């Protein structure tokens, strides 16, 4: 299982370039945020999806001091309760080098209030 993780993470980073299912939800000078519409999974008022953040400005990773180029996350929105959680997060540097990975199970997820102006909310939850 440990040997499979880097391959799966590399696949997540490469797949956005090959897929036209990624939808830009926020585009700013410092970063662009996209959601993989093909990854949307709805279950009991919650929506699970993949999110990609591409950095345009230099942001140094605090632990490695390497430049952060992309962050891929598996997130879940609880549309009924107006909250969100991050289930996994992978930080990549130059040449797709993985410099950090975190993952939690749904039962251990840390929920935060979902701002109503969250760019992905209307797209993922289907309302404003």
Q: Which CATH superfamily is domain 4-125 in?
A: Surface-adhesin protein E (2.40.128.710)
Scanning the chain, the segments in alpha helix (DSSP H) are: 4-18, 121-125
Task: Write out pLDDT tens, residues 14-63.
Answer: 444 446 889 999 999 999 999 999 999 999 889 999 999 999 988 889 88
Among positive and negative, which fits the CA dihedral 89, 93, 96, 98? negative
- Is 9 or 103 the better-scoring residue by pLDDT? 103
Q: If you average pLDDT over every residue of the chain, what do you get?
A: 84
């Amino acid at each position: 299982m440990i040997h499979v993780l880097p391959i799966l993470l590399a696949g997540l980073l490469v797949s956005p370039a090959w897929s036209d299912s990624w939808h830009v939800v926020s585009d700013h000078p410092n970063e662009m945020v996209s959601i993989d519409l093909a990854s949307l999974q709805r279950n009991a008022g919650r929506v699970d999806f993949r999110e990609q953040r591409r950095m345009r400005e230099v942001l140094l990773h605090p632990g490695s001091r390497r430049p952060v180029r992309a962050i891929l996350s598996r997130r879940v929105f609880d549309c009924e309760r107006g909250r969100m959680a991050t289930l996994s997060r992978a930080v990549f540097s130059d040449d797709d080098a993985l410099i950090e990975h975190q993952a939690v199970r749904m039962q251990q997820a840390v929920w935060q209030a979902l701002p109503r102006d969250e760019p992905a909310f209307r797209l993922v939850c289907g309302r404003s």
